[in-house]
Amino acid sequence: MPDTDEEGEDEDREPRAILERTNRMPPGVFYDVTKDALCCPDCDSRYDPEIGGMRRAIECCDPPAEIDPDDVPVCACPLPLDEDDIEESDCSYTQLLFLQAVYKAMQQHFERLEYDIVWDSMLRLQEYVDIEDDAIDDLLDEGYLRKDCDHPHRLYTVTADGRDAIGVTYREGVAHGHGKGDLGESSYHVMLVEATKRWLKQSRVEDPDSPVARVVPYFELQEGGVDAAAFMGTDDEAAEQAAEEFASHRFDLVGLNGDGEVVLTLEAERVNHDLWRAAPDDYDKMAACKPDEAIWVVPTQKAGHEILQALNDPADGESRVEKTYAETTPTQQFRIDEPGFTAMYPVSWVQNQLESDE
Ligand SMILES: [Zn+2]
């Protein structure tokens, strides 16, 4: 067994799986390093070192009435790097493993019990990987990782350099087509879209009175679509440009009726430097679809008011929305009925709606 009290530089190069490192484990389950198995201490049964095995180990003898999902670590997080790559990397093995865990989390590759981006802080990933604050700070300083937010919980995004470090090439990573995000996306945006998707399923799809039959994230408009061939090319710059164009023809979420027509559009808007263009552009994109509902989901009430102001007084063209509200008005109380704006909700409001169900 390595002496964890003296974690030197060399030892940090030593590949050790998350199950061996994690500071969290559900009661009644332990990981046996020598057998690479999850084990039940009561009957010595062994289970595969992945989430399915974890579930069986939890259910083995004397299962607890309730499991705190925070106690269930991400079980498998293999690095797509060989020994030489790891040896030559500017990052320690622990840092690479953390980058990989964050990357997989933002791609939603873990089961919800392991890590759920809608509810779980990435501080959990830090505990699972057992990485020190300093080592994460280095990743931030060196530009491998970006901190998105602390509200509603801590989220990080792996940058292009970070993806390079863990061997995810741009072309492999450019997911395209309905239902897929893209690499320029932040974990924060992934969280917004996923939370909103669950809420729309619950509030629209499961409501027999709603025309919405299904909800599709990252929906690409047919007209003015981008040539998919551009994504297949070897030219990174062309792929990047295509990805940008792609985003401008794409909705974060749509609701389709039984005939496959768009009846609801939703944009998860972040406030950034080009808000005075971005917000009216998104408004126009939604309005062009003539949806029954055009919903805006925003990080905070304050951000919602900034977006409303950008729609009141956009950089180009006429006011998209004439109505104004005092900054103390919660955005969910806006009564606006315009082609590209029927409601605006802060993400915390969306989460509260979900809480009753999840
Ligand atoms: Zn057992």
Q: What is the CATH number of the domain that holds 81?
A: 1.10.10
Distance 52 CA to ligand 1 centre (A): 15
Residue 112 lies in a domain: yes
Distance 63 CA to ligand 1 centre (A): 9
Residue 243 has pLDDT above 60, yes or no: no
Distance 29 CA to ligand 1 centre (A): 9
pLDDT at res. 16: 86
pLDDT at res. 273: 82
Residues 286 and 312 in one domain: yes
Amino acid identity, residue 31?
Answer: Y
- pTM score of the predicted model: 0.85
Distance 198 CA to ligand 1 centre (A): 35
Q: What residues make up the domain containing 154?
A: 4-26+68-168
Distance 57 CA to ligand 1 centre (A): 7
Final residue before a domain boundary, out of 137, 168, 199 = 168
- Reduced to 3 states (helix: H, G, I; strand: E, B; else coil), residue 33 is coil
Residue 36 lies in a domain: no
In angstroms, the CA 23 to CA 27 distance is 12
Residues 115 and 209 in one domain: no
Residues 117 and 195 in one domain: no
pLDDT at res. 185: 81
Residue 232 has pLDDT above 70, yes or no: no
pLDDT at res. 269: 84
Residues 200 and 157 in one domain: no
pLDDT at res. 46: 97
pLDDT at res. 170: 55
Name the residue among 264, 279, 278 with its Cα closest to residue 339: 264
pLDDT at res. 173: 43
Residues 178 and 144 in one domain: no
Do 73 and 155 touch, CB atoms closer than 8 A?
no
Q: For the residues 20-26, what does the mean pLDDT come to?
A: 95
pLDDT in tens, 32-64: 999 999 999 999 999 999 999 999 999 999 888
Distance 53 CA to ligand 1 centre (A): 12
Final residue before a domain boundary, out of 140, 168, 196 = 168
Residue 208 lies in a domain: yes
pLDDT in tens, 308-348: 999 999 998 999 999 999 999 999 999 999 999 999 999 99
Token pair, residue 334, equals 């806006």
Residue 313 lies in a domain: yes
Distance 43 CA to ligand 1 centre (A): 4
Burial of 10 (C-beta count, 10 Å sphere; 0-12/13-18/19+): exposed
Give the other-Cβ count within 10 Å of 265's Cβ.
Answer: 26
Q: For the residues 235-258, what does the mean pLDDT come to?
A: 72
Mean per-residue pLDDT over the chain, rounded: 87
Residue 193 has pLDDT above 70, yes or no: yes
pLDDT in tens, 57-116: 999 998 888 999 999 999 999 998 999 999 999 999 999 999 999 999 999 999 999 999
Distance 49 CA to ligand 1 centre (A): 15
Do 320 and 311 touch, CB atoms closer than 8 A?
yes
Distance 108 CA to ligand 1 centre (A): 30
Model confidence at 357, in pLDDT bands (50, 70, 90)?
Answer: low
Final residue before a domain boundary, out of 168, 183, 207 = 168
pLDDT at res. 3: 45
Burial of 223 (C-beta count, 10 Å sphere; 0-12/13-18/19+): exposed
Residue 42 lies in a domain: no
pLDDT at res. 257: 96
Distance 44 CA to ligand 1 centre (A): 6
Distance 30 CA to ligand 1 centre (A): 11
Residues 19 and 138 in one domain: yes
pLDDT in tens, 107-164: 999 999 999 999 999 999 999 999 999 999 999 999 999 999 998 899 999 999 999 9
Distance 76 CA to ligand 1 centre (A): 22
The total number of structural domains in the chain stands at 2
Q: For the residues 276-298, what does the mean pLDDT come to?
A: 95
Distance 61 CA to ligand 1 centre (A): 4
